[in-house]
Amino acid sequence: MSTENLNPFEIVQQQICTAGQCLALDPAIEEILKEPKRVLMVTFSVKMDDGTAKVFKGIRSQHNDAIGPCKGGVRFHPDVTLDEVKALSMWMTFKCGVVGLPYGGGKGGVICNPKELSQGELERISRAYIEAIASIIGPDKDIPAPDVYTNSQIMAWMMDTFSRLKGSNQFGVVTGKPIIVGGSLGRNEATAQGCVFVITKAAEKLGLPLEGATVAIQGYGNAGSVAAVLLNKMGCNVVAVSDSCGAIYNPAGIELEVLYQHKRDSGSCINLPGCERISNEELLELPVDILVPAALENQITAKNAEQIKAKIVAEAANGPTTPEADRILFAKGITVIPDILANAGGVTVSYFEWVQNLMNYYWSEQEVNDKLQTIMYNAFDNVYAASQQHQVDLRTAAFIVSINRVAEAIKVRGHV
């Protein structure tokens, strides 16, 4: 039986250690990076539709702000834990570092099950959470955004609550907002778009033509559903997708427009006519060219890594692969584009949104996408070069690139 450690906080600490060894990193800097700078845990009560009050727990973790304000999403999920949110805030620091944004990492979570909440209840939870953490967030302190089971409507409520508290519009406090209240064109698609940009680069390096390449996507949410469409536009054939109810597979390719309507009408991907029903685990092991884990942490582990057949694993999710699985995939010659690079498109366009809010001048979608492409291509090239230089996998290389930036800021500010 495997005794693999699946605690995301300990996993990210291990990832820091591995990169730190390659860099001969100052132990004091390593110690700073291994813990969040500040964690706030809050409890708040919300009136439910049936008139009762329910108590919820929320967390905001701020890992590091040496390069700029903390930045990162808020997750609404029943399984949110303190260690998970801490880890996610740390991955945000390194994600912003890989793409060179003037941000550090933050992350938030509320323990709740959005599938069982009405719109009214969701709104009251979103507002109460922001009120509870208002003292530590702000456009120049820490800027939340969407993550698992949160969306632009929730961001609008959060921005509105913070603005009311301050007595004036504070569009820059949150990103991923609806366009009409300071959102950026292209933000909805950004995580998937960034992921497709780096998949294109990796496929080029491998000599894998995207035309006709088969794709399996685990998670049909904010990132996965858009990645399916964008990869399809690039000529790829999406043969499998999944959500929390299960997975579907059609070796001939899934009709994405039909899938979109089916998910909208039935609430799930499963039971799409013409597709075979498989499990989420089976989806990961399909004989495809490109696998996109776009759901939650710890999906590819020591248990199933040996069975992964994809040539490219592009991590649209945060933390889907464990360190043991990383070693197995590397030995098998599978290219893993790590989360902190593969899904950095989301926070990159969040950065564009924040910049547009601060200057009150808004860009076209073309401008946003062109800027995103430049950043993602450069980031891929830098990470690839570091992997060649240090003879390591792309994850360790991404950490190396990023830690170098954060360490320089920590040093020059005189914190060590």
Q: Which residues bind ligand GLU (CB under 6 A)?
A: 71-73, 95, 145, 147, 175-176, 318, 343, 346-347, 350
Residues ≥6 apart with Cβ < 8 Å to 286: 216, 239, 240, 249, 309, 310
Shortest Å distance, C-beta 234 to ligand GLU: 22
In order, the DSSP letters of 382-416 are HHHHHHHHHT--HHHHHHHHHHHHHHHHHHHTT--
Q: Which of 12, 367, 344, 16 is nearest to 201 (CA)?
A: 344
Of 44 and 91, which has the nearer Cβ to ligand GLU? Answer: 91
Tell me if residue 57 is catalytic: no
Please name every residue paired with 312 in a beta bridge, in sequence order, or none if there are none.
290, 335
Shortest Å distance, C-beta 111 to ligand GLU: 17
Shortest Å distance, C-beta 71 to ligand GLU: 5
* 70-77 β-sheet, strand order: 38-47, 53-62, 104-111, 70-77, 142-146
Q: What is the number of the residue whose Cβ is closest to ligand GLU?
A: 73
- Answer yes or no: are the C-beta atoms of 308 and 330 closer than 8 Å: no
Of 75 and 262, which has the nearer Cβ to ligand GLU? Answer: 75
Of 126 and 250, which has the nearer Cβ to ligand GLU? Answer: 126
Tokens of 324: 């043991």
Of 299 and 343, which has the nearer Cβ to ligand GLU? Answer: 343
Catalytic, out of 71, 86, 95, 107 = 107
Shortest Å distance, C-beta 133 to ligand GLU: 15
Query: Any idea what DSSP says for residue 331?
Result: H
- Answer yes or no: are the C-beta atoms of 103 and 354 closer than 8 Å: no
Shortest Å distance, C-beta 392 to ligand GLU: 23
Query: Any idea what DSSP says for residue 105?
Result: E
Of 173 and 210, which has the nearer Cβ to ligand GLU? Answer: 173
Measured CA to CA, the distance from residue 212 to residue 214 in angstroms comes to 6
Provide the annotated active-site residues: 107
